[in-house]
Homo-oligomer: A and B are copies of this chain.
Amino acid sequence: MAKRSADPSNGSAPAARQVPMRDFSRSLPMSLLRAREAVMRQFRPSLRQHGLTEQQWRILRALAAIEAVEVTELARTAFLLGPSLSRILRDLEARHLIERKTAKADQRRSMVSISEKGVKLMASVAPSSEAIYAEITRRYGARKLAELQEMLGELEQSLAGLGAGDEAIAEE
């Protein structure tokens, strides 16, 4: 349908087809990207209705289960880089959805926690969020979903030691 015929009538066709590679659209990164987007597309409308972005929601969820965390650990939990987290925390604090106070023992650290208002917001979002997750599980199959997550985890594991490129491994 969307197939494009060669159309040799093009007067000055530039270079192409010179670098043979795997079919791009079937690469692992693209598969992961598309799959994740297909999933997140389901959640975004509901979050948006409540004035939350995906990342803000991640932060609130990470905070909901604990009393307080340091920013660094929160970054690890919510899988955000420090600078992103720093900005988002500033905004969430301005909206009074979280609270921050510097640790007594170490003035460098600041402990972050969810506020009452944040808890209430979460409570208003959670039902719809759970419903969407349930629908995804229903469509894809609970067993298959668990298997997929298992395989994703193993993929992570198998790449764990491969480093960020310039860090020479120290233990051998």
Q: List the B residue with the shortest CB-CB distance to A138.
A: B158
The answer to whether residues A147 and B151 also contact, given A21-B64, A24-B58, A32-B39 and a CB cut-off of 8 A, is yes
A114 / chain B contacts, CB cutoff of 8 Å? 14-16
- Give residues 49-99 of A contacting B (CB, 8 Å): 54, 58, 61-69, 73, 77, 79, 99
Number of copies: 2
Q: A35-B152, A36-B32, A38-B159 are in contact. Are A62 and B24 (CB under 8 A)?
A: yes
**Which residues from chain B contact A154 at a C-beta distance below 8 Å?**
140, 144
Question: Cα distance A60–B156 when bound, in Å?
Answer: 27
A159 & B42 in contact (Cβ 8 Å cutoff): yes
Interface size class, chain A: 35 or more
Task: State in angstroms the CA–CA spacing of A77 and B27 once bound together.
Answer: 12
Complex alpha-carbon distance, A142 and B82, angstroms? 35
Q: What 18 additional pairs, Cβ within 8 angstroms, besides A6-B67, A22-B133?
A: A19-B64, A19-B122, A24-B61, A25-B77, A26-B149, A28-B39, A31-B149, A32-B35, A32-B39, A34-B79, A35-B153, A39-B155, A41-B159, A42-B162, A44-B164, A45-B164, A135-B162, A139-B159
Interface set of A (CB-CB < 8 Å, partner B): 2, 4, 6-7, 10, 13-19, 21-46, 54, 58, 61-69, 73, 77, 79, 99, 113-116, 118-119, 122-123, 126, 129-130, 133, 135-136, 139-140, 144-145, 147-149, 151-156, 158-160, 162, 164-166
